[in-house]
Chain A
Amino acid sequence: MQTVDLRGVTCPTNFVKAKLELEEVEVGATVEFLLDDGEPVKNVPRSLKADGHKLLGLKETNGYYVLTLEKAE
């Protein structure tokens, strides 16, 4: 599974980066994103969901979040 580290990247650059990374991935593939606490974890999952991707999980580990999603069309 591919992991994209977006820690240290602020909004909305983190979301745009996530979108660009997802363009390189097959539909149906699972991708993991590492997100900072605060605004990033509040905004990025919501925006990716609004783009139609399926969110599989979101867990806090050591002060940051791991978002797992399945790429949609």
Chain B
Amino acid sequence: MANPKIDLKNLKAGGFIKERGKDLFTVRLRVPGGRLSVDRLAKIAQVAQKYGKGYVHLSVRQSIELINIHFADFDTVVAELGEEQQKVASCGARVRVPTACGGCEYNPNGLVDTQKAALEVDAKLFGTATGHHKFKVCFAGCPFDCPKSAINDVGFQGAIWPKLDAGACIGCGLCAKSCTEGALAMGEDGNPVFTGENCIYCGDCVKVCPTSAWEVEKRGYSVRIGGKWGRRPLVGTLYATFLPEEKAVDFIAAVLAWYQEKAEGAGRVRLGDIIMREGTASLLERLRQDFAEYLLEETIPPQVIDTQLPLRAQEEKTCKR
């Protein structure tokens, strides 16, 4: 019999996770992009001290989890956290809290404002029920890709396309030396030569240039879709390049709508597996309606990673060879 004092609305989006032992739950807090003010941190610490175990756990997706919360304390915990300042996160078949790297305000590697994007996605799409399975989004500020865009359902990676102001170039050769992709070399005339087809949009040339002769011509996101980790990992593949930062939310919403529709009746299946079943062309076609100028002509299905388990499957493979 449910405790009549508990407000069940608080449980609706998830974020209250049953623990071992009687009546105890983990309360997962919503920290989009992993950034929170010191004031909020202090508040969380206070509540954790009062109702929890004396420690918190940092989830691998940047949420703070309060441990050993008695279910009878749910409402007070939520109230004391201050629902406006610190919301409870989600679990289950929903759009999860987006993760992000530090972004570009203080991190010299960041090419785009991933923190802003994470907050926007959190505000507009967090908790949306997919009807099928979880749906994870991340924002990486550059191709170092610390948030791991290829193992999210939709993963964004900051990108820039460079442009040379030849008049400002002093021919020092640092750009060519810094480019690890073979997209830049020094020509015989002592000026840099750019081979665009080798560029992965990392912006190292712009970052290293001592005179700012290399400038940003285009900025946006490389977008990968269909990744996941877990028991059966899939690496997501590229669908769009230089998607403008302000279009990220609409892009995710379009992918989500396709997933909700195509996974109908499939049960608890992630986006990547639905793409494997439906083919990449169907998703590309849907996205082309609103994002044509950023979309690739074609792409490859999510890439299956061999986990080597179960071992029997490995033996069979070896025998076949």
Chain B residues within 8 Å of A57, by CB: 170, 172
Question: Once the chains bind, are B172 and A46 in contact (CB under 8 Å)?
Answer: no
Q: Main secondary structure on chain A at its contact with chain B?
A: strand
Question: Once the chains bind, are A60 and B173 in contact (CB under 8 Å)?
Answer: yes
Chain B residues within 8 Å of A6, by CB: none
Question: Once the chains bind, are B170 and A42 in contact (CB under 8 Å)?
Answer: no
Question: Once the chains bind, are A42 and B208 in contact (CB under 8 Å)?
Answer: yes
A interface footprint on B203-246 (CB within 8 Å = 1, 0 otherwise) = 00001111110000000000000000000000000000000000
Question: Once the chains bind, are B174 and A41 in contact (CB under 8 Å)?
Answer: yes
Q: Main secondary structure on chain B at its contact with chain A?
A: loop
Number of interface residues of B (CB under 8 A): 12
CB neighbors of A among B164-195 (8 A): 170, 172-174, 177-178
Question: Once the chains bind, are A58 and B174 in contact (CB under 8 Å)?
Answer: yes
Tell me if A18 is interfacial: C-beta within 8 Å of chain B.
Answer: no
Given contacts A46-B207, A49-B210, contact A58 B178 (CB under 8 A): no
Chain B residues within 8 Å of A55, by CB: 170, 210-211
Chain B residues within 8 Å of A65, by CB: 172
Q: How far is the CB of B117 from chain A (nearest CB, A)?
A: 24
Closest residue of chain B to A47 (Cβ to Cβ) is B108
Chain A residues within 8 Å of B210, by CB: 45-46, 49, 55, 58, 67
B interface footprint on A37-73 (CB within 8 Å = 1, 0 otherwise) = 0000110011001000001011110000101000000
Q: How far is the CB of A16 from chain B (nearest CB, A)?
A: 16
Chain A residues within 8 Å of B174, by CB: 41-42, 45, 58
Chain B residues within 8 Å of A46, by CB: 207-210
Closest residue of chain B to A48 (Cβ to Cβ) is B210
Query: Per a CB cutoff under 8 Å, which of A42, A59, A60 touches B178?
Result: A42
Q: How far is the CA of A15 from the CA of B30 in the complex (A)?
A: 38
Q: Which residues of A are interface residues toward B (Cβ below 8 A)? A: 41-42, 45-46, 49, 55, 57-60, 65, 67
Known: A46-B207, A49-B210. 5 other contacts (CB 8 A): A41-B177, A42-B177, A42-B178, A57-B172, A67-B210
Q: Which residues of B are interface residues toward A (Cβ below 8 A)? A: 170, 172-174, 177-178, 207-212
3 A-B pairs with the lowest CB-CB distances in the bound complex, closest first: A58-B172, A45-B210, A55-B210
13 example contacts (A-B, Cβ-Cβ < 8 A) are as follows A41-B174, A42-B177, A45-B174, A46-B207, A49-B210, A49-B211, A55-B170, A55-B210, A58-B170, A58-B172, A58-B174, A58-B210, A65-B172
